[in-house]
Amino acid sequence: MHQQLRAYLRAVGGSDWPHHLTLARLVARTLHLHRDALMQISGQATYHYHHTLSYLVPLLLLPGPAVLVTCPATQQYILHGQLPQLLEFLPIDKPVVTAPTWPDKNFQGLLLITQADWLRGMLAATPMIPSALPTVIDGLEMLETTAQAVLTVKLTPADWEELTRCFPQARQAIRDVLIKLIHEVFQYPRNPYGCYRLSRLAIERLLQLLTGLLATYSVNLPQAWQQWFMMLKTPQYHCLLANPDADYGQITLQGFPLKIQDQLQALWPRQPLVFLGQQIELDPQAPLWRQRLGLTGLEAINLAFHPARAQETLSLYLPQRFPLPNTPEFAPYLQAQLGGLLWQFQARSSRPENPWFAVVIVDDLPLREQIAANLAASFGSQVRVEAPLRSERGILICRWQYWVAQSRSFPIPQALLVVTLPIPSRENPPVAARIEFYKQQHRDWFREYLWPECLSRLAQLIAPIRNQKTLLALFDTRIIHRSYGQDVLNLLSPYEPVEISQVNALEPWLEELKLEAP
């Protein structure tokens, strides 16, 4: 395998990533020994798919069937960017199939399947994928979110109609509960997340309805309602939400377990697994991630391929004297900083033939709208809010999720300006439910949940700009003034601090805002 991969790399002109052979040997050895491994790789390598070749070759050369589990984007890259050349170069005739389930019992090739389809197949009452198959799971940083989405059960207006058809004699009782539920949800104060946690009274009404239907009629509940019935009986272990649709006056309910490890922990021992992906924790053992996914009982080899200092050093601007995000002074000083920095970039690229592109990451909706309005007043149509650019020159203002999902459709920015650390907001109903669950368990909800999630998000944010001569600016001085800030600097390493002449750049903005220089 080692010689064939080396020959292939030479045939295609080599690679800038130095870990191909090392990672391929580790994957091949782990698959051969039927052991489990967790391998964290730098964000820059995973963003550019450098690592995919190192598991594709061992999987293709492995005798017998195997499974490759990835996110859809990685699967498309492999199908169209790597497999055609590999299958032409390697002396094998192993079939490669893309499907949501196992093709047939006699299949001896490589199955390419998405994380969501693989989890659905493994969680089915009758597993749709054979056990004991060597399995590589790429994109471990997405696995927890995908698992939560797969385990989420929705109740749409169509499900209420189905419940009424199953219990026609209780049509009025079902309708009364639905009307009360809709009325209550639409009375909630609006939030930017579009969902609301069900109240204790709403949960009791739903539980009483379903309990009464089962006690009165000898008819089984539809599948989705059976799952909701179980969640309603243990609301402390589930997040139960309502999504209102103001246009139609309807709601959709969705619920998912707060301890997904209870559903997942039985899956992992069925087959030897190799997990690969971006760094998810500073600790290469990833103890918190493994605990949340029910992987604590598995013996694993844990390795971390860290960024190469020469190639992946970040240029980091971290203002030393700056108001904290929870103070009233933060927003106006932020406006001045953003305006000054962007004015500098535009001045340096004043010629039309010199494109410039900057990204402003801000998750708080009111602050995002305020920043967009102020920058649009100065930069006009160059400012875009979660929308494609109109030219090669522009400013994109967006949430961290938008940038992570859409960054490949934009040019590499000259500046990535992160307003605050991407700590999950406690105002977000699913986040609030998880915090409450951690409190009930007497656990440190910040250190075990919010902070690891923040570091994972930050790693995904900066992945596109490693080795791109992009300025990374972080305006959240909690990095300096809080003990946990050192974790951020460790995550960003290697980085080189950048000093910017603040006052000269900010003079016009400070004068307009009637502020003194920070």
For residue 186, what is the domain's CATH number? 1.10.275
Do 132 and 177 lie in a common domain? Answer: no
Distance in angstroms (rounded) separating the CA atoms of residues 246 and 120: 32
On whether residue 19 sits in a domain, the answer given is yes
Q: What average pLDDT does the segment 60-69 reach?
A: 95
Q: How confident is the model at residue 513 (pLDDT cuts 50, 70, 90)?
A: very low
234 lies in a domain? yes
Structural domain count of the chain: 3
Best CA proximity match to 77, nearest among 102, 53, 108: 53
pLDDT digits (tens, 9 = 90+) for 415-466: 999 999 999 999 999 999 999 999 999 999 999 999 999 999 999 999 999 8
What pLDDT score was predicted for residue 160? Answer: 97
pLDDT of 16 reads 74
Q: Which residues contact 445 (CB under 8 A, 6 or more apart)?
A: 434, 435, 438, 439
Give yes or no for residue 407 having a pLDDT over 60: yes
- Residue 505 in this model has a pLDDT that exceeds 90: no
Bridging pattern class, strands 250-257 and 153-155 = antiparallel
Average pLDDT over residues 245-266: 94
Strand residues in 299-356 grouped as ranges (E): 300-305, 314-317
Same domain as 87, residue 119: yes
The sheet carrying 66-70 orders its strands as 96-98, 110-114, 66-70, 135-138, 273-278, 36-41, 300-305
Mean pLDDT of the residues in the chain: 89
The helix (run of H) or strand (run of E) holding residue 503 is helix 502-513
Domain check: are 46 and 112 in the same one?
Answer: yes
The mean per-residue pLDDT over the stretch 385-409 comes to: 91
Q: Looking at the predicted structure, is the pLDDT value of residue 300 above 70?
A: no
pLDDT of residue 353: 57
Q: What percent of the chain has pLDDT over 90?
A: 65
Biggest distance spanned by C-alpha atoms of the chain: 78
303 and 316 co-located in one domain: no
Q: Is residue 115 part of a domain?
A: yes
Residues 140 and 186 in one domain: no
User: Both 127 and 221 in a single domain?
Assistant: no
Mean pLDDT of the region 258-283: 90
Is residue 338 in some structural domain? Answer: yes
Task: Please indicate, yes or no, whether residues 62 and 124 belong to a single structural domain of this protein.
Answer: yes
Distance of CA 87 to the CA centre of its chain: 31
* Residue 68 banded pLDDT, cuts 50, 70, 90: very high
Rounded Cα gap, residues 484 and 451, in angstroms: 9
Q: Are 339 and 495 in contact (CB under 8 A)?
A: no
Is 267 within a domain?
yes
Q: Which CATH number do you get for residue 294?
A: 3.40.50.300
- Give the domain extent around 67: 2-150+261-309
Q: Identify the domain boundary among 257, 273, 301.
A: 257
Q: Please state which of the ranges 14-28, 169-183, 350-364, 491-505 shows the lowest mean pLDDT.
A: 491-505
Range ranked top by mean pLDDT from 79-83, 161-165, 275-279: 161-165
| Span of 260-264, 286-290, 497-501 with lowest mean pLDDT | 497-501
What DSSP string runs through 18-54? TTHHHHHHHHHHHHHHT-EEEEEE-HHHHHTTTTHHH
The residue among 257, 274, 298 that closes a domain is 257
Residue 518 lies in a domain: no
Q: Angle between the 200-216 and 223-233 helix axes, to the nearest 10 degrees?
A: 120
Gap between the Cα atoms of 431 and 371, Å rounded: 25
